[in-house]
Structures are given as C-alpha cells and as structure tokens.
A and B are shown apart, each in its own frame.
Chain A
Amino acid sequence: MNDEQIIELFFARSELAIRELDAKHGKACYQVSYNILNNTQDAEECVNDGYLGTWNEIPPQRPKSLLAFVCAIIRNLSLMRRRENTAMKRNSTYDIALSEIENSIAASTSIEKEIEAKRLAQIIESFLDTLTEENRVIFMRRYWFSDTYGEIAKRVGLTEKNVSVRLTRIRKDMRKYLEKQEVLV
C-alpha cells in the first residue's frame, strides 16, 4: 500500500491506517525515537503516541510526505520525553550529535544574543540552501534524524570517515554563516 492510500484510510477514519502506517514506516519511526531516547520501551511508547497524534492530525491535514509528517511528530514527542526524564543517561546518538554541534554554535564572547526559534530556523534553512544536496542531506540526517556516521555513509554512498570530515566542514561553515548573520557575536 502506498502513502496516498494510507492517507486515504486516515481520511476514511479506518483503524487499518495505523496498521498500514506501522507496517510501512514503523522501523523508520522507531529509529527516529530510539536515536533520541536510546531506550526501547520509551521509543516504542513515543512511536505509539506519534501514531495517535497522526490520527488526530489527519484529517484535516493532508501531508505531502506521510513519513516526514509522522517522523516530525514522533521526534517532537521523543524530545519532550527526553526533557522530562532528567535522570536519563545522555548517551544517545542525538546527545552525541548535539555535543558535536556545541562548539560550532558557542558564542566567542560572553555576550549572549537571544533569537527566536523560528527566526533561527529560517537562518539555518538559508544556510542549508548554500549547501549541495548531498551535504544538506548529511546535515539533516545527523542533526534532525540523529543517524550514526555509518548509517549516513550507507545512505549517501560515502565512507564513515568522509561523512565525519564533511560534517566537520559543514559545522565550520555554519559557524561562519551564523557569525555573518550576527547570530553569533
């Protein structure tokens, strides 16, 4: 069953929609959550909550990409759970990716500049537009999906080391871009 047909099932309020969604995209959804939480039970619960969220959103929404839509819901739920659970060990792929980016976004002076998340997202998007498609995908797979270097390497047909070097370069370029945009001072 293709995504369009699954979306039609959601519109028809058929519970089969969830089953088909899980059959087709369950593994990818689980991985998005697991990469953030590093815990099987928590990830499964977030995926199930994500399916429920999708059920509540479609209709009226009709997503362009069903997988992107569900992943965004599950990612947000997983991040919320990560924030709530302060006792959680910070050793997931997401935590590692976040620590990588820390140096690239740290201000070089003690003056901190507040910026609204939406505005910062727009600036990051305009930075992403300066990258090649491949580098953009590498960035998103690492800092949105929290994929490991190995997973990214397989997806883009590079070696793990090359992915690592590319990400170092992208982070460096992003830092320069953020400085130019006066996000970092």
Chain B
Amino acid sequence: MTTKAFENAMCEISEKYVIEAINYSKTASSFRPKRRLSIVLIAAILSLFLLGAGVVAAIFGDSIQSWFGHLWEEITGQEMSNEQAALIDHLSQEIGVSQTVGETTVTVDSATVGDDCFFILLRVKGLELSTRDSYRFDEIDLSVFPDPVGQDEGLEHFGFQHLWIDGDGAALFMLDHGYVSEAGFAWNDQPLDVELTLKDLIQSPAAGDDTILQKGEWTFSFVLDRSERPHCIDLPDTYVNVYDSKNSQDVEVLLTNIVLTNTGLRFQYNADGRTYSAPLLSVILRSGIEVFDDGGTGAPLEDGETMSYSYRWMFPIDLDDVVSIRFDNVEIPIPDKIG
C-alpha cells in the first residue's frame, strides 16, 4: 500500500473518530504544584513505610516528586499510595541551583536517581510564557563524571522535554539520562558530578516559526547523591518475540539477566549482531493498571552478539505493588507472586 492510499483512506475515516480525538482531553491542566513536603514528614513517611505501618497523607512540593505524582494520577487514574509516594521521595533529592541571564532564571530544582538513570526537573522563570506554546533550548550539553561509558563502546543518552507552565508562570522541563555500558551493568554508589549547559531559550508556537526568547547560556555544576539504590528483582530467563521490521516478522529470542528496578528494566538477548524494533514494556500493578515504559537505550556487549538494554518507567514504581512485567505480549510474573 502506498502513503497516497493511506492518505485517501484517512480522508474517508468516520467523523466519530475525529470527534473523539477533539473531545478527548487528559491534559496536564490538573497539574497544580502543592506544598513542598518537609524533611521531617519525609522521614516520618519513610519510617512508617519501612516499618510497614499504616497511612500517612503525603503532600508533595512543587518539585520532581510533584510531577511524578501528577503523572501517576494521570496514568493510573488513582491517587498515589503512601508507599508509592514514599518511594519517589526516597529516590529524589533537592538540588536548587539557579542562574539568571537577562530576565530569565533557570533553576535546576530537583532530581530522582535510579541505578543507571536519573531525571532532573528544571524551572525557567522571568519571562511571560504561554501555556499554548512549547519551549526548548537551542543547545543542551550534559556531562557526567565518572562517565559510565567513558571507557567502552556503550551508549549514553539524554532527553529533554518541556512539561508545562506551572501556577507561578514558570516553564517546567524534564531532563532524563540513561546509559548502557559495553561491560554490562555495575552498581556505583559514588556521587555523580553533573555539568549542564543550556543555550538560548526558544519559543515554539503551536503554529508558526520558532523564535529566540532569551539569548544566553546557563551553566550548572551539581552533584547527584547515588547512595539510595533502587530496589531490584531478578527475573527468570524468558523467551519472547522481537520484531524484525526489516523482514516484517517476529523473531524468538531468550531474554537473560532480566532485572526489574524501581526506575526501569534491564535485560539482554543474543541478537546475532542484528537490531530489532523496540518492544513495548510495561509493569502490571496489583490494581491491574499497566504502566508503560518511557523509552530506553540498547548497545552490544563486548562479545558483539549480545544486546544489552535499559528501559525506564514513566515514574519510579514501588516493586511491592508490581505483580508482573509485560514484554509486548509475554507476561513475566514477579517470582514471589508466582502461583
């Protein structure tokens, strides 16, 4: 079939699908930053969480925890449990470094740190920003020390996206970083030095050309504490199908070294030196709700045949609430929940 045939067919598509797409709205408009959670309250929640004790009302601040809380509610349609809230707090840290260029102040607000990835919330304030437009930086440079793939042919990636304009008129951005090393995964609890440079704030209207809103360079140096290691669960080797888009067919591979963590999923398989389409991964929660992955990175190991992958969840997930993971159509139960 040609794109022309698809184009013609889409012109004939029933109006009901167009109406549905117009009326559907689950926008982030419900995202309203709440009060910042005090250190004392975090400690109290964590203590109760660790003791397996009852319910504590968690009130997040206008930080990365608040954004993940918002995402949780949007995706699951439920209020976040105290255990889930405590976990996100457990993995998160305040950074709070700012730099002002012209009228624009950029703040590296807070971070959530996994064992092979991290997320950073940035806030941009000072100019009049519109909820109708998107914002970005023209150039972003990120360096981390020690470099997790500095000595090998692994892959490091980072993403940067505009999330929303908050109640104070500040633009919120999320930066995420992950890597896969050629040598495989090795836990490192040493602090991670981060250097971040952002150049020229750009306004991207819904329709029309991008314009430079603030010319300049914002440079940050900060340290991420990696002492709070996420929980990990090893899962049994499992056969799954991966999609060979070049030949339009599914290929069966054996997933090995599958590790589920609070922040993502790692696995390997022998790919015979070939690359396959990214699978859709998800975790199934006790409630039956499925939370999908938010992208990942893959690179060959030193043997050149085994591919190693690291995928991230959309937000940190309390593993006690997970009953299984899904790799496309194959469900892999969490061991202590089998049977």
Query: A165 near B207 (CB under 8 angstroms)?
Result: no
Least CB distance, A48 to chain B, in whole angstroms: 15
Cβ of B28: which chain A residues have Cβ within 8 Å of it?
Answer: 154, 157
Least CB distance, A160 to chain B, in whole angstroms: 5
Query: B162 near A67 (CB under 8 angstroms)?
Result: no
Least CB distance, A17 to chain B, in whole angstroms: 19
Least CB distance, B172 to chain A, in whole angstroms: 12
Within 8 Å by CB of B1, from A69, A71, A183, lies: A183
* Complex CA–CA separation, A23 to B53 (angstroms): 56
* Segment from B4-12, B195-203, B220-228, B258-266 that makes contact with A: B4-12
Query: B26 near A155 (CB under 8 angstroms)?
Result: yes
Least CB distance, B265 to chain A, in whole angstroms: 13
Instruction: Contacts A79-B11, A103-B245, A108-B248 known; list 4 others, CB within 8 Å.
Output: A121-B11, A144-B21, A153-B161, A157-B27
CB of A169 within 8 A of chain B? yes
Total interface residues in chain A, CB < 8 Å: 69
Query: B19 near A161 (CB under 8 angstroms)?
Result: no
Interface centre among B13, B21, B71, B75 (most CB of A within 10 A): B21
Q: Which residue of B lies closest to A102 (CB)?
A: B3
Known contacts A30-B207, A43-B207, A133-B20, A161 near B159 by CB under 8 Å: yes
Name the interface size band of chain B.
Answer: 35 or more
CB of A65 within 8 A of chain B? yes
Known contacts A115-B1, A143-B10, A128 near B17 by CB under 8 Å: yes
Query: A35 near B13 (CB under 8 angstroms)?
Result: no
Query: A150 near B162 (CB under 8 angstroms)?
Result: yes
CB of B25 within 8 A of chain A? yes
Least CB distance, A138 to chain B, in whole angstroms: 9
Least CB distance, B114 to chain A, in whole angstroms: 15
Query: B5 near A68 (CB under 8 angstroms)?
Result: no
CB of A124 within 8 A of chain B? yes
Within 8 Å by CB of A178, from B1, B18, B26, lies: B1
Interface centre among B14, B206, B292, B295 (most CB of A within 10 A): B206
CB of B129 within 8 A of chain A? no
Q: List 24 A-B contacts (CB under 8 A).
A: A27-B207, A28-B22, A34-B208, A64-B15, A64-B19, A107-B1, A112-B1, A120-B5, A120-B6, A121-B10, A121-B11, A124-B13, A125-B14, A136-B17, A140-B18, A155-B24, A156-B24, A157-B26, A158-B74, A159-B71, A159-B174, A162-B292, A165-B294, A168-B278
Q: Which of A110-168 contact B (CB under 8 A)?
A: 112-113, 115, 117-118, 120-121, 124-125, 128, 133-134, 136-137, 140-141, 143-145, 150-151, 153-162, 164-166, 168
* Complex CA–CA separation, A161 to B280 (angstroms): 12
Least CB distance, B112 to chain A, in whole angstroms: 14
Query: A161 near B295 (CB under 8 angstroms)?
Result: yes
Within 8 Å by CB of B18, from A27, A35, A68, A160, lies: A68
CB of B293 within 8 A of chain A? yes
Within 8 Å by CB of B17, from A115, A144, A156, lies: A144
